[in-house]
Amino acid sequence: MKTRVLFAAAALVLSGAAHAQFQKPEDAVRYRQSAFAVMGNHFSRIGAMVQGKAPFDAKVAQENAAIVLMMSKLPWAGFTPETERIKSRAKPELWAEMDKVRAGADKMMKAVADLEATTRTGNLDAIKKSFGETAATCKACHDAYRE
């Protein structure tokens, strides 16, 4: 419980004062899933470029990275203790290992911030590298904590 309270407090700091408020636990789940969905879509758009499936356009990459950056700060506020009982793809381990989840979230947000900065250089090789590093931070938590 103490860990969860700490995580909730951390989520407030993470997402700044613009953190979300929820009337019901279901709203918190929907919110975090929505933020992840928007983030994933725009991250994939950068992915298509670094994988050569879409033409590289530095401006497009930067615009998508800006959306990913904003979204990366949001979902954490939706992992409130009350949402543990709501059915989602979150594994039981997520609630039991909040310190690790928190560290993973920090790592992801840092990687995304680096990716966004890298897209502003317009250097495709650097973007590829940064994209891969970011994708690894997504995968680490998905593998450990998502069904």
Binding site for a copy of itself (CB under 8 A): 16-18, 20-22, 27, 30-31, 33-35, 37-38, 41-42, 44-45, 48, 54, 57, 59-60, 63-64, 66-67, 70-71, 74
The least distance separating a copy of itself from the CB of residue 99, rounded to whole angstroms, comes to: 26
57 phi and psi, to 5 degrees?
Answer: -135, 110
The least distance separating a copy of itself from the CB of residue 73, rounded to whole angstroms, comes to: 9
- C-beta closer to a copy of itself: residue 77 or 111: 77
CA torsion through residues 95, 71, 36, 130, sign: negative
- C-beta closer to a copy of itself: residue 21 or 143: 21
The least distance separating a copy of itself from the CB of residue 34, rounded to whole angstroms, comes to: 4
The least distance separating a copy of itself from the CB of residue 96, rounded to whole angstroms, comes to: 27
DSSP 25-81: HHHHHHHHHHHHHHHHHHHHHHHHHHTTSS---HHHHHHHHHHHHHHHTSGGGG--G
Closest residue by Cα to residue 120 from 72, 69, 48: 69
